Amino acid sequence: MSLKDIHLDAKAIFQSLKTRFGDAVVELQETGFNPAFVVVSPSAILAVSRFLRDDSSMKFDSLMCLSGVDYKDNMAVAYHLHSMSLKHIVGVKTFLPKDDPRLDSVDSVWPAANFMEREAYDMFGINFVGSIDLRRILLPEDWPGHPMRKDYVYPESYHGVKV
């Protein structure tokens, strides 16, 4: 069997997730998205992640990038996944309410997630429940607010130094 036969495109991955997780898999963002995103509900993220890593047709063993995004109306976490053995790529995205963005941490699935989740927490205030170590990483611990949010208001000063 050549690599081409086992290489799944985003549509096939979406279908496979849909049959398994039902309504927790919301939609496929395809046109204009490179790679395409499978949108899942935040409550299912840990189960979906485990399935994507462990299933023999998926084998997404590598988390390339995890990013927080502020879409103004809501927040999102975007995961870019890659399979080292099957060579396919897919994005997974989950939308979160703006007032209390929280979802399960995936650092038990991909240990690489830890620093990336810490950054998303630091910059967007997204709360990763069950993380092994969720602290600010790039900013000082007493920095006010989460500066990558679109509605962020810069402080006048920090410890007496004008910002």
Residues that bind another protein (CB under 8 A): 29, 32-35, 37, 61-65, 67, 69-70, 78, 80, 84, 87, 91, 110-112, 114-116, 119, 123, 136-140, 147-148
Q: How far is the CB of 98 from another protein (least distance, A)?
A: 15
CA distances (Å), 11 to each of 2, 17, 29, 70, in order?
Answer: 20, 10, 10, 26
Return the axis-axis angle of helices 10-21 and 45-54, rounded to nearest 10°. 120
Closer Cβ to another protein, 55 or 61, answer by number = 61
Phi, psi (degrees; rounded to nearest 5) at 124: -120, -10
DSSP labels, 57-112? TT---EEEEEEEEE-SSSEEEEEEEE-TTT--EEEEEEEE-SSS-EEE--TTT-TT
Smallest separation (angstroms) from another protein to the CB of 19: 26
CB of 39 to another protein, least distance (A): 12
With a CB cutoff of 8 Å and minimum separation 6, the contacts of 31 are none
Minimum distance of another protein from residue 132's CB (angstroms): 10
Residue 48 or 66 with smaller CB distance to another protein: 66
CB 98 within 8 A of CB 80: no
Nearest distance from residue 106's CB to another protein, in Å? 12
Nearer to another protein, 42 or 53 (CB): 53
Nearer to another protein, 104 or 107 (CB): 107
Which is closer to another protein, CB of 42 or CB of 91?
A: 91
